[in-house]
Structure 1
Amino acid sequence: MAAVVKDAYAAEDPADRLARDHLVQPWPVSGSIGAEARGRILEGDGIYVTDHAGRRLIDGPAGMWCVNVGHRRREIVDAMAEQAMALSYNSPWYTTNDPSAELAARLAGHAPEGLQHVFYTTGGSSAVETALRFMQFRNNVLGRPAKKRIVSREGAYHGSTYLSASLNGRPRDHDWMDSASEQVLKLSCPNPFRRPAGMAVEAFCAHLLQEFRDLIAREGADTIGAFIAEPIMASGGVIVPPDGYLAGMRAICAEHDILFIADEVVTAFGRLGDVFASEQVFGIAPDMITFAKGVTSGYFPLGGVMIAERLFEDLRRSNHSDAMFAHGLTYSSHPIGCAVANANLDLLEGGILDHARTVAPYFQQSLKALEALPLVGEVRGLGLMACVECVADHVSNNPLALDLEVGKRIDRHCQDLGLLVRPLIHMCVMSPPLVIERGEIDRMREILDKAIRLTQDELVREGLWRG
């Protein structure tokens, strides 16, 4: 047996061996931690990537919800190189740079009225962490040290830092990890597909809003500092809330002086057709908006928080003019990242946003046809993000009777056929680059259809599903 393993390692690609011997991958399991080689992607072009085996694949997840303008955009590469030659870095503690100031003004122009300030971070987790730390700082300065708890939701995902991860509402995220759970209150997931049997969607929405009111009455508004919500729960399975839900939650927050933080790390920068979706798509003006991913289309690590002017006005009027928001990052306002983001915005404003709005209805309509397959319980989404959720049957909608690796099975077949999807237990999620065309959407649907049929056949053969 040892000789077989040794021979296998000897035949291994050198890059795979280096990864397995030295690279710790994100979200590893203990059985393979520090000894894992995942499939390598060698290059990208437009909506496609090429893997180590030479397969050209449609990049269904756009990397990780982020390669919005597509791979290999010369405009972004040139902006990156030019800025690196002009100024590669400056300390944000006592200097600033032109690209960051220009980008801040452009972002404020797209944000809801009043959200005119930007604090830059290095990604989505640090953006959420910044928003929460600002809430805590503000309440300390305003003499409300108890008003610090954060309301999140079951099924949510908000990051991997200690405080942001504490907000996550997926059980597997907490099984083996510590968290600041004492600071977080959880509400139900606003998933219409999983609403109680016999309950109308409108009644489900009213139930969710009442749940929030009841939580505030029980815990006390003077102990709750913020409510955070993804407008669409991305990693939770592309959960689109009922109509009126976000507006209702926003109104309740305003009534009780609870900051509404819209986590737009996924939904911003064209994913739903606009630079920010909160107001344009859902009709709400949050107190803060967190962003990352699509701000640079994944070409450079950058994130940030849009913050309402009124929150700063409260601080300026306080009796603690010397109180310091002692929070910052070495790479806040990074000049190269901000230059890349400006070039990315040029592309979005120059036609890609219009294209995304035009092609999104066709994307949703095309994938919806997969609901005809017995394994598929629901296809849902909005804009250019979608989820295929598999179920054991269409009466109970129970995923637990299935092989919980069904998403990975579908993804494996998809890759053999020319498509990457992101498997999430019994679901597959997609968020392709915004430059995708109708013919490429057709190809995605065809591959998914065949991959799901192949998976159905496997499950039946193995006695895991009756069909």
Structure 2
Amino acid sequence: MAAAREIKAREVVEPGDDDAVELAKRHLVQPWPYAGSVGAEARALIGEGEGIYITDASGKRLIDGPAGMWCINVGHRREELARVMYDQAMALSYNTPWYTMNAPSAELARRIADAAPGDLSHTFFTTGGSSAVETALRFMQFYNNVRGRPEKKLIISRGGAYHGSTYLSASLNGRPRDRHWMDGADELVIKLSSPDPFRRPKEMSIHVFTDFLVDQFRDTVARVGAGRIGAFVGEPVQASGGVVVPPDGYLKRIREICRENDILYVSDEVVTGFGRLGHVFASGDVFGLDPDMITFAKGVTSGYFPLGGVIISERLLEELRRSNHPDALFGHGLTYTSHPIGCAVALKNLDLLEEGVLQHAREIAPYFQARLKTLEELPLVGEVRGAGLMACVECVADRESKDPLQLDKDVGKRIDAHCHELGLLVRPLINMCVMSPPLIISREQIDDMVAILREGISRTMDDLRKEGVWRG
């Protein structure tokens, strides 16, 4: 037995181990794979991280442009968070949430309630963003069942939206490629237009475009019937849809229509929460909203531990407590709901955010946006847009038509490959490059990031010209 344990110990893959690539190809199924390579591919191997940087298998140091996946908000290798994980694991590594509880989850729920807008006062903790959105939707269904409104279950989402990968949450997604080969609860979901000002008709003003979006929502409620619609789910800024910042006032007008028609407004802050826009929650502090529920994940632990949740209005809970069905069971829970290690990490992460990271993010965001905006000088770039410390560079075949389809569909990946060589990791999305670095980034590091991105786009333009794909 001792010999067997020794052999196993030798098989542990160290960061940067060349064997990791072959092991991945033989045994690892990557997220979002294509059928032709599923279970047989390896992706860029990352060995270490520190601050805003990561190091790949070759030893190249890269700016972590996407902050992992919108989540490494306080940066890599924060000893404070690592120590909390260790200390909590040594004190209590796990408890069943079915009939016990732990102190970190109760304290975190209080801290979240203090930061949330309106009467959002109670949090159900999950393992990530998808399960947070799934929980919000299941709660809406339960809420309407208890109220005697079992027909009030339809969900409104929008084009360009991304809300998760579980069955119900993925059904809300509004990016066509996400659903081409996947099933979903289509009978429950109504999708409206994306609130993307860049894609509005050329002759349409922002004011008219906003009215169009609001009228579309109002007309849909009237046509389908408010008595059948349970919830609207929307990101304050559509993140994976290309950092789509909605027109001013649009979200507040949608919220009012929801209030008037007894439709729950679910604000999906999986990306925008915990500092990405300079506040713990953007719904109230940035957009002036008081949703019925807010979902969150990612930045709540800065990616150091899988944790998410949904914050629920006191009004909704009070209605349930006063109902004629006190024995109705919300039959929903997860093995790792209110995980003590995740909640302890989140508490320390909140300390770091509130002790200076949030203020730094608010102060440096205008510089971040302004420097990236200079990339619009490049003829391949149709628009640079963003809010806080999240931005998108959208490439187009020409600015007149704004057509991305005439370009190589992997133009974002081309840019990312050049940037990787130059020292920057980019989040490529077909014809777009998304940037959402750790919130601790400095002005000098922003300058480095933008300079690399400019060179990466320039090299991509040269490639496309040489191949005859683009003549810009």
TM-score range, shorter chain: over 0.9
| Aligned partner (choices 435, 441, 466) of residue 461 of structure 1 | 466
Map 1:39-438; keep pairs closer than 5 Å.
Answer: 39-438=44-443
Q: Which runs of 5 or more residues in structure 1 are unaligned?
A: 1-11
Measure the CA separation in 1 of the matches of 2:411 and 2:176.
Answer: 19
Query: 1:224, CA displacement in angstroms?
Result: 0.2
Secondary structure at 1:100 match in 2: helix
Q: How many Å separate the matches in 2 of 1:13 and 1:118?
A: 43
2:34 aligns with 29
Query: What residue identity is the alignment partner of 2:443?
Result: R
CA distance in 1, matches of 2:384, 2:60: 27
Structure 2: distance between partners of 1:27 and 1:432: 22
Cα separation, 2, equivalents of 1:74 and 1:39: 25
Rounded to whole Å, the distance in 2 between the matches of 1:258 and 1:80 is 40
- Corresponding position of 2:3: none
For 2:410 and 2:340, locate their aligned partners in 1 and report how far apart those are by CA, in whole Å. 42
Rounded to whole Å, the distance in 1 between the matches of 2:125 and 2:91 is 20
Structure 1 residue 235: Cα displacement? 0.2
CA distance in 2, matches of 1:354, 1:284: 21
SS of the counterpart of 1:198? coil
- Distance, in Å, in 1 between the alignment partners of 2:104 and 2:143 is 28
> What amino acid maps onto 1:156 in structure 2?
A
Q: Partner of 2:194: helix, strand, or coil?
A: coil
Per-residue Cα deviation, 1:159-218 (whole angstroms, up to 9, x for no partner):
000110000001011110010001000110000000012111011001100000110111
CA distance in 2: counterparts of 1:331 and 1:202, whole angstroms:
45
Secondary structure, counterpart of 1:337 in structure 2: helix
Q: Deviations over 1:383-405 (max 9, x none)?
A: 00000000000110110111110
1:3 aligned residue? none
For 1:451, the aligned partner's letter is: G
1:373 partner letter: L
CA contact (8 A) 2:125 2:307 kept: yes
- 1:12-46 deviation line (CA, Å, top 9, x unaligned): 93110101100000000000000011110000000
CA distance in 1, matches of 2:60, 2:126: 35
Task: Summarize deviations over 1:332-383 as a string: whole Å, max 9, x none.
Answer: 0000000000010010011000000010000000000000000000000000
State the distance in 1 between where 2:384 and 2:33 align: 29
* Partner secondary structure for residue 165 of structure 2: coil
Answer whether contact 2:118 2:291 (CA < 8 A) is retained: no
Report SS of the residue matched to 2:120.
coil
Q: Describe the superposition over 1:128-160 as per-residue Cα deviations: whole angstroms up to 9, x where unpaired.
A: 000000000000000000000000001100000
Judge conservation of contact 2:128–2:298 (CA < 8 Å) in 1. yes
Structure 2 unaligned blocks of 5 or more: 1-16
- For 1:7, the equivalent position in structure 2 comes to none
Classify the secondary structure of the residue corresponding to 1:118: strand
Distance 1:455 1:204 in 2: 33
Question: CA RMSD of the aligned region, Å?
Answer: 0.6
Identity between Structure 1 and Structure 2 (%):
70
Q: How far apart, CA to CA, are the structure 2 residues paired with 1:231 and 1:344?
A: 22
How far apart are the structure 2 equivalents of 1:254 and 1:53? 54
Other structure's SS at 1:69 match: coil
Q: Is the 8 A contact 2:389 2:436 kept in 1?
A: yes
Tell me how far apart the structure 2 counterparts of residues 37 and 208 of structure 1 sit (CA, whole Å): 42
User: What per-residue deviation string (whole Å, max 9, x for no partner) do you get for residues 228-255 of structure 1?
Assistant: 0000000000000000010010000000
2:451 pairs, out of 435, 438, 446, with 446
* Structure-2 separation of matches of 1:400 and 1:466: 14
- CA deviations over 1:104-141 (Å, ceiling 9, x no partner): 00000000121010000000000000000000000000
What SS does the aligned partner of 2:444 have?
helix
CA distance, structure 2, for counterparts of residue 357 and residue 14 of structure 1: 43
CA–CA distance in structure 1, aligned partners of residues 201 and 381 of structure 2 = 20
The CA distance in 2 between the partners of 1:26 and 1:32, in whole Å, is 12
* Corresponding letter in the other structure for 2:256: A
Distance 2:227 2:397 in 1: 45
CA distance in structure 2 between the aligned counterparts of 1:363 and 1:210, rounded to whole angstroms: 34
Contact 2:426-2:435 within 8 A present in 1 as well? yes
TM-score in terms of structure 1 length = 0.97
Residues in 2 aligned to 1:331 and 1:371: alpha-carbon distance in whole angstroms: 45
Structure 1 stretches of 4+ moved >3 Å? none
CA distance in 2, matches of 1:15, 1:116: 45
Cα distance in 2, alignment partners of residues 39 and 270 from structure 1:
27
1: CA distance, partners of 2:255 / 2:377: 37
Amino acid at match of 1:126: S
